[in-house]
Amino acid sequence: MSTPLQVYEPFRAGLPKLGRYWKSLWSRRTFIKEYSKSELREQHFDSVFGQLWLVLNPLLLSAVYFILIVIIGGATDSARYAHLTASLFLFYLVANSLTGGVKSITAGQRLILNTAFPRIMLPISAVVIAVFKFFPTLIVFFIIKAVIGTPFTWQMLWAIPVLLIAIFLSLAVAITISCVNVYFRDIASFLPYLTRTLLYLSPILYEATALKPNLRALEIFNPLFPILDSWSRAMVHGEAPHMSSLLQGLAWATGIFFLGTYFFLSREREFAVRL
């Protein structure tokens, strides 16, 4: 039986046949799961100390920020710490997706050069890894919430659609930045400053209701703002989030996803040459 030949044609920007592409992607869902698990094992996620550090890192960071808030702003309450912790945990879901996604294509150079598969699997795997890292922090937050005595209500179920929107946004930014990094490698060095800026411009160290009127533009131009505000309202205060915030967050995630995915799929066949 003859060996199948892989034919490489001159690259021209354009979308592949989407039906065949998504079918090929779906058939490799097991590979995405196993690839994500292997990356997690490499990061010692399967060990007790590996999972403990995933929780301790944002937890200690939230404690440091809380101390600074108390020193600078004076008196505060336990709900403020619950807001800080819950928001920071969700923020790390998006930040870890960005960090993992930015090098997902360049780090998979050997795999890309030697195997034919939908390249979008790599940033998807980065988001799967970020989600696996996020779930242990939920347990820690519920413990914190019980200890400080903030209410558990049925309105907290609104956190489920908020989380789905956050994961959708994480996928969108991971796909986009993974493609951008193929053409502009310096974006990986700039990423820590971007995530730090997003942290300060998002309602994490402060609540959205405390934002001054002259800074309301942050709500419009920051994709994370409505998502984190809705998350805090549901998880910390046990309130239903504003529907406008949910729709705004979904609009941001949808827009970035379609633009990023179009850019990714139309340039995917050029990645082997660029790497």
210 within domain boundaries:
yes
Give the predicted TM-score (pTM) of the model: 0.85
Domain membership of residue 227 as a residue range: 18-274
Q: What is the pLDDT of residue 10?
A: 45
The tens digit of pLDDT for each residue in 42-75 reads 766 666 666 666 677 777 777 777 776 666 666 5
- Does 243 or 72 have the greater pLDDT score? 243
7 within domain boundaries:
no
Q: Which of 43, 168, 39, 192 is nearest to 104 (CA)?
A: 39
The tens digit of pLDDT for each residue in 123-163 reads 999 999 999 888 888 888 888 888 888 888 899 999 999 99
> What is the number of domains present in the chain?
1
Work out the number of other CB atoms within 10 angstroms of the CB of residue 6: 8
187 within domain boundaries:
yes
11 within domain boundaries:
no
263 within domain boundaries:
yes
The tens digit of pLDDT for each residue in 218-227 reads 677 889 999 9
2 within domain boundaries:
no
Helix axes 243-267, 224-235, angle to 10 degrees: 130
Q: Which of 182, 172, 184 is nearest to 254 (CA)?
A: 172
4 within domain boundaries:
no
9 within domain boundaries:
no
Q: What is the pLDDT of residue 14?
A: 66
